[in-house]
Copies of this chain bind each other. A is one copy, B any other.
Amino acid sequence: MLELIQDDGGVTVSSEQLARRGHTTAAQVRKDLSHFGSFGKRGLGYSVDELRDRLRIILGLDRVWRVILVGAGRIGSALFEYPDFKKRGYDCVAVVDSDPAKIGEKWGERVIRPAEELESLIKELHAALVILAVPASAAQLVAERSVNAGVRGILNFAPVQIQVPEDIPVENVNLVMELEALSFQITRALTP
């Protein structure tokens, strides 16, 4: 949001304006930000540039994160080509798949590597994150292997809840569950 405001030439922004854009309240914006420090000027609001930079540091976006993509199927391919990816500081340093037919295939500058090399690739390329774009049945094993090889966080697209040590953050994206959340809300509105 701050970058969009920058593009529009905005120099300062109030909690009220941020709240409207982000579908929340001004008090919420201020409380949340105050958690990390005091970034605004009374009477003026927040400097867009400064707030953006401070948030980038808080979110750990002031460095490049090396990512390994596991699974070169449809979802993997969509992610790999996603343009905002590299722009945002996420560098996909390797793509891995277990299908012999896919190994060796070229995706841009990367060649698809066999799944057995997962651990060595994580170590050699110093990957901090893995993206799991594999079937549900393979997700738990790949997650364990990744954690053992030193990965620090996991983005999981498989529709299962994977179990990892609690100091390893996991974010889940479950497309069917998102649709089900919509179905529920629509249904509930009809039958109160």
A: residues with CB less than 8 A from B are 1, 4, 21-23, 58-61, 65, 67, 74-75, 77-79, 81-82, 84-85, 88, 90, 128-129, 152-155, 159-161, 163, 167, 169, 171, 173, 175-176, 178-189
Contacts and interface: CB of A to CB of B under 8 A. Distances in A.
Contacts of A167: 189
Nearest to A20: B163
Best-buried of A90, A181, A187 by chain B (most CB within 10 Å): A187
A9 to B, nearest CB: 17
Contacts of A22: 161
Contacts of A173: 173, 175, 178
B178 A171 contact: yes
Contacts of A153: 182-183, 185-186
Contact of A84 (B81, B171, B176): B176
A58 B88 contact: no
A186 B90 CA distance: 14
Best-buried of A1, A61, A78, A167 by chain B (most CB within 10 Å): A78
